[in-house]
Amino acid sequence: MADAPALASALAPAKVNLFLHVGPLDADGYHPLASLVAFADVGDRISVAPADGLSLTVTGPFAAGLDGEGDNLILRAVRALADETGLPEPGLAFTLDKRLPIAAGLGGGSSDAGAALKLARDALNLSMDDQALAGVAALIGADGPMCLHASAAWAEGRGDRLAFEPALPPLPAVLINPGVPSPTGAVYRGYDAGPPATADRPAPPSDWSLSSVLDWLAAQRNDLQPPALALQPAIGAALQAAADLPQVRLSRMSGSGATVFALFDSEAEATLAADRLAAQRPEWWVRTTVLS
């Protein structure tokens, strides 16, 4: 009996915007932004095995949300990698275990693409470091490089100017999604209809202890939160539920929503809070995590 094809897998972690300052639309049709991003220890799971051609199978609790998406970011990223390296389309069969909600403000698609690029590089024995691979990820979207690196970083410009921040302490957190999509385009259109903010990058915290960072984050904002709330009132319910959790230090929406995060002083406090909320709102997606 022939051996089964070798299978490799990787986590595509959820991305969280700890703050998100957004400027008005520029002449090129983009919104400048400033953000501090961190990554969770929960996310989608990507696996790959040798095959006769390039393919993608989607499974998992949120697979139905991607039905009919014939040109998933995973396939686009791998084809871009082949083009950049002068290779034919590779024979790789990818499986996406879709565990993150769709249109959730967690960078799921870009993170999936980043994990797939790393798996494809290794499967094809390409001599490319992560920096070179990030150049391919940038062809898929502005947040492609940050999601490929999946490390805490300051992001500016269109989200493509990165400065890694190794001093960020691990942040005990609860992620909460009320089960509604929050399409990025509609949220930005809502933002454009209101008074413009500025893509200001705040001075860093006076020290990087957990308590100091939490106090500093509380003084920041997510400029997409008001228009997202106007479009999806369920986000407001999630924000209120997060704010009501025992021992919570900060609650805020991530990205363009609809996911809300709550930050705590300890993992034990976060776990107790998540268990309580999951019991109260079993229809919501609630996960304990550590952001770093």
Catalytic residue positions? 15, 143
- Of 99, 144, 76, nearest to 9 by C-alpha is 99
The Cα 183–Cα 185 span in angstroms is 6
The answer to whether the beta carbons of residues 94 and 46 sit under 8 Å apart is yes
Following DSSP, what letter does each residue of 219-252 receive, concatenated?
T--BTTHHHHHHH-HHHHHHHHHHHTSTT--EEE
Phi and psi (nearest 5°) for 88? -70, 165
Degrees to nearest 5, angle at CA 143 with 175 and 119: 85
In angstroms, how far is CA 49 from the centroid of its own chain?
25
Q: Given the DSSP bridges, would you call strands 55-59 and 92-97 parallel, antiparallel or unpaired?
A: parallel
> Helices marked H in the chain — which ranges?
73-85, 108-123, 130-137, 144-149, 184-192, 210-218, 225-231, 233-243, 267-280
The answer to whether the beta carbons of residues 117 and 81 sit under 8 Å apart is yes
Degrees to nearest 5, angle at CA 76 with 72 and 81: 150
